[in-house]
Amino acid sequence: MSEKRQVVVSGMRPTGRLHIGHLHGALANWVRLQEENDCYFFSADWHALTTNYHDPGVIKQAEREMFVDFIAAGVDPLKSTLFVQSEVKEHAELFLLLGMITPLGWLERSPTYKEMRENITDRDLALYGFLGYPVLMTADVAMYKATRVPVGVDQVPHLELSREIVRKFTHHYGPVFPEPQPLLTASPKILGTDGRKMSKSYGNTIDIGESAESTTKKIMGMVTDPARKRRQDPGNPDVCGIFYLHKVTSGADTVAWVDQNCRTAGIGCVDCKKKLLEKLLPEQEQMRERREALLARPGDVDALVQLGTQKARKVAARTMDEVRTAMKLKLA
Ligand code: SF4
Average pLDDT over residues 44-50: 92
Q: Tell me the residue ranges of DSSP E strands in the chain.
A: 7-12, 38-43, 81-84, 148-151, 181-184
Residue-level pLDDT at 291? 96
Look at 51-65, 116-130, 308-322 and tell me which has the smallest mean pLDDT.
116-130
pLDDT band at 3 (very low <50, low <70, confident <90, very high): low
Ligand 1 atom closest to the CA of 237, numbered from 1: 3
Residues found in the chain? 332
pLDDT in tens, 265-285: 999 999 999 999 999 999 999
Q: Ligand 1 centroid vs 244 CA: distance in angstroms? A: 10
Residue-level pLDDT at 69? 97
Mutate to test the pocket of ligand 1, among 233, 240, 261 (most ligand atoms within 8 A of CB): 240
Amino acid, res. 113: Y
Mutate to test the pocket of ligand 1, among 225, 277, 279 (most ligand atoms within 8 A of CB): 225
Q: Ligand 1 centroid vs 227 CA: distance in angstroms? A: 11
More confident residue, 307 or 114: 307
pLDDT in tens, 125-161: 788 988 999 999 999 999 999 999 998 887 888 899 9
Q: Ligand 1 centroid vs 22 CA: distance in angstroms? A: 23
Distance from C-alpha of 130 to C-alpha of 128, rounded to nearest angstrom: 6
- Res. 118: pLDDT tops 80: no
- Res. 47: pLDDT tops 70: yes
Residue-level pLDDT at 15? 85
Q: Which of 100, 116, 96 is nearest to 108 (CA)?
A: 116
Q: Ligand 1 centroid vs 278 CA: distance in angstroms? A: 15
Distance from C-alpha of 150 to C-alpha of 213, rounded to nearest angstrom: 34
Q: Ligand 1 centroid vs 69 CA: distance in angstroms? A: 29
Query: Over pLDDT 90: what percentage of the chain?
Result: 80
Ligand 1 atom closest to the CA of 273, numbered from 1: 7
Question: pTM score, two decimals?
Answer: 0.92
pLDDT in tens, 288-301: 999 999 999 999 99
Mutate to test the pocket of ligand 1, among 269, 273, 278 (most ligand atoms within 8 A of CB): 269
Ligand 1 atom closest to the CA of 263, numbered from 1: 4
Average pLDDT over residues 217-222: 98
Residue-level pLDDT at 150? 93
Amino acid, res. 245: L
Q: For residue 74, is it left (φ>0), alpha (ψ between -120 and 50) or beta? A: left
- Res. 225: pLDDT tops 60: yes
Ligand 1 atom closest to the CA of 267, numbered from 1: 1
For ligand 1, which residues put their CB under 6 angstroms from it? 224-225, 228, 235, 237, 240, 242-243, 258, 262, 267, 269, 272-273
Mutate to test the pocket of ligand 1, among 262, 273, 279 (most ligand atoms within 8 A of CB): 262
Average pLDDT over residues 67-84: 97
Query: Over pLDDT 70: what percentage of the chain?
Result: 99
Q: Ligand 1 centroid vs 236 CA: distance in angstroms? A: 7
The protein residue whose alpha carbon is closest to atom 4 in ligand 1 is: 262
As to burial, measured by CB atoms within 10 angstroms (0-12 exposed, 13-18 middle, 19+ buried), residue 118 is: exposed
As to burial, measured by CB atoms within 10 angstroms (0-12 exposed, 13-18 middle, 19+ buried), residue 309 is: buried
Q: Ligand 1 centroid vs 264 CA: distance in angstroms? A: 11
- Res. 286: pLDDT tops 60: yes
Q: Which H or E run includes 85?
A: none
Average pLDDT over residues 58-73: 94
- Res. 2: pLDDT tops 60: no
Q: Ligand 1 centroid vs 241 CA: distance in angstroms? A: 8
The three-state secondary structure class of 145 is coil
Name every residue whose Cβ is closer than 8 Å to that of residue 198 and which is 6 or more positions away in sequence: 19, 20, 21, 190, 191, 192, 204, 205, 206
Amino acid, res. 191: L
Name every residue whose Cβ is closer than 8 Å to that of residue 119 and which is 6 or more positions away in sequence: none
The protein residue whose alpha carbon is closest to atom 5 in ligand 1 is: 225
Residue-level pLDDT at 248? 94
pLDDT band at 101 (very low <50, low <70, confident <90, very high): very high
Sheet harboring 81-84: ordered strands across?
A: 81-84, 38-43, 7-12, 148-151, 181-184
Distance from C-alpha of 72 to C-alpha of 70, rounded to nearest angstrom: 6
**Average pLDDT of the chain to the nearest whole number:** 93
Residue-level pLDDT at 156? 87
